[in-house]
Amino acid sequence: MALIRENVTLAPLTYYKIGGPARYFAQPESTHELAAVADFLRDRKIPYFVLGAGSNVLLADEGFGGLVLSTAKLDRTLAAHGDELEVGASVMVIHLLRHCMSEGLAGFELLVGIPGNLGGVLCMNAGTRLGEIESTILAITAYDLATKTERTVLRERMKYSYRAQHFLKPDEIIVRARLKGRKADPASVQTQVQALLTSRKTSQPIDRPSCGSVFKNPDPGKNLQAWKVIADIGLRGHRIGNAQISELHTNFIVNLGGAKAADVKALIELAKSRAKAQCDVILEEEVRIVPPDGGKVLGT
């Protein structure tokens, strides 16, 4: 199969099952193939955006006019070395957790309930009430499309904040990471992870396509949670088209079947405007909304 494909439908590649075609699409399986994608982008001077597992993204109904670079097969390394893990960016969170259960490696329970792959988790410093991925990172290896070089960033050179990183260069893509946990009894790790997974099933609408949390918590330091704000402004279960604010967890907008990006965006804007008008709270999207003419041009 050719590395660069044309007119690839994006909806099946996202958790939301929403999105039109990409003009160009690439799914490299090595840094050598990443270099070829970089050459294509430089020659064509077209915008691109990086798509991981598609869990925290809302793509346009019209699709994307540039190149979508999927990292789903880029690096699937998954190996334990004592209390450390070497993990490729393409490894799904649930597979990482299963590996930890079998190896008896604790400290990654904070990832339970987070969709997607490790690359996306590292980019946005994803986390739960138990903590954020930042606390486990020893080093990150990234590939720079602009220079076609790879570098490793050690923990002390990283800068993270709530749901954001501030150390990657504009065209760098995370390839893999080295994480630190702690050795534990495998049965104990399995018990903890399974208990958290069971809790998630009863508190999140995992039976419907969604992106996970739509909004960041407005003030995590004061424990002001987005779901509570949305519930308080009366939007639990509110529906536009075939998109609905979940009745089970109001920081989720679910696809009831055939929802359009426009439906989801309308609910997002409604929640933001009501939160500001009724509670004087500014809701900021956690989900990445990609317009058809979005993305960035290599080297700019």
Annotated active-site positions, please?
Answer: 163, 213, 286
**Mode of pairing for the β-strands spanning 47-51 and 164-165:** unpaired
Let me know: does 294 contact 64? Beta carbons within 8 Å: yes
Taking residue 297's Cβ as centre, other Cβ atoms within 10 Å add up to 14
Class of residue 202 by CB neighbours under 10 A (exposed 0-12, middle 13-18, buried 19+): exposed
Let me know: does 254 contact 268? Beta carbons within 8 Å: no
Let me know: does 252 contact 226? Beta carbons within 8 Å: no
- The C-alpha atoms of residue 60 and residue 199 are separated, in whole angstroms, by 32
Which tokens hold the place of 34?
């990443």
DSSP string, 51-81: ESSSSSEEE-TT-EEEEEEE-TTS---EEEE
**Ordered alpha helix ranges (H), the chain:** 31-44, 93-103, 118-124, 186-203, 226-232, 261-279
Q: SS3 for 188-240, per residue? A: HHHHHHHHHHHHHHHHCCCCCCCCCCCECCCEHHHCECHHHHHHHCCCCCCEE
Contacts of 220 (CB under 8 A, 6+ apart): 162
Count the helix, strand and coil residues of the chain and give each as a percent rounded to the nearest 5.
30, 30, 40
Helix (H, G, I), strand (E, B) or coil at 243: strand
